[in-house]
Amino acid sequence: MVSGALILFILLYFFGQTIPPAKPVQQKMNSQSTDRQSIKFDDLLLKAKQKISPEQAQRLLKLENAVTRGDVKEQQIHVYHQLARFWADSAHIFEPYAYYTAEAAKLENSEKSLTFAARLFLDNLITEGQPAMQHWLASNAKVLLEKALVINPANDSTKIGIGACYLFGNISDNPMQGILPVREIAQKDPGNVYAQMILGLGGKRSGQFDKAIERFLLVVQKQPDNVEAVFNLAECYEEKGDKANAVKWYEAVKKLVKVPEAQKELDKRITELKK
């Protein structure tokens, strides 16, 4: 398995996570429901507050009080955005940043704001390894995407995002509920890179590496510089024991990555595979 350090460097550099993601965990889809747990935002917020300074806590309290005083929707939207910026820029903690961005988006109720907020949860969902957090991320993303779909029922990207919530979010006893709509979109439009990526990631997570490789290869054909697809190709080949192709695609990742630390991790992985 690829080292956590390598995953961290690549994800941080290319996908701009606010906080380092948990190491992905191989998880059979049919076991998701047994691990489902509940996370409350209040608990996440309490933990986040324990990590900030007294000065930051005072500033935060003023913002939180402003929310309760804001009886006009535009005022509430403004304060939610301020809270989101505080947690992103000052505290550098993802969960409250995403939550308050989502709260603002719900009030704004535009397709753009709803899908932007949902993508924050989805991007972290793909790399999250804890079932309870998967459930929290996916549940929040799903609410936002369903609201966006009401505004624009023809948006395939929104439908794919909802499918991803079911595939990776630990929110349903039947993950096929998420796979089928995404598969239909991919069949209708094989060039839909987002659909192919989600199906590839779903295949990888369920241990269907050959199917995942087919999907990732379609993405790379359309987007040769898509480092996420290339990286996942390398991992899939490694997982199925095809060292030659794993080395080939890790070498391709190395050409795309400009971070010296990540390149060193890739070199280590390549060397180990060549033994």
Tens-level pLDDT at each residue, the chain (275 residues): 343 444 544 544 444 433 333 333 334 343 344 345 679 999 999 999 999 999 999 999 999 988 776 568 889 999 999 999 999 999 999 999 999 999 999 999 999 999 999 999 999 998 888 999 999 999 999 999 999 999 999 999 999 999 999 999 988 887 777 888 999 999 999 999 999 999 999 999 889 999 999 999 999 999 999 999 999 999 999 999 999 999 999 999 999 988 888 888 899 999 999 98
Instruction: Pick the closest to residue 45 from 2, 5, 84 (CA basis).
Output: 84
Helix/strand/coil for 223: coil
Q: What is the CATH number of domain 1-17+179-275?
A: 1.25.40.10
The structural architecture, per CATH, of the domain 37-170 is Alpha Horseshoe (1.25)
Residues of the chain within CATH 1.25.40.10 domain(s) are: 1-17+179-275, 37-170
pTM, rounded to two decimals: 0.82
User: Would you give the distance in Å from CA 4 to the centre of its chain?
Assistant: 16
CB of 189 closer than 8 Å to CB of 146: no
Helix/strand/coil for 189: coil
Q: How many CB atoms lie within 10 A of CB 230?
A: 24
Instruction: Pick the closest to residue 165 from 121, 196, 207, 205 (CA basis).
Output: 121
130: amino acid identity, one letter: Q
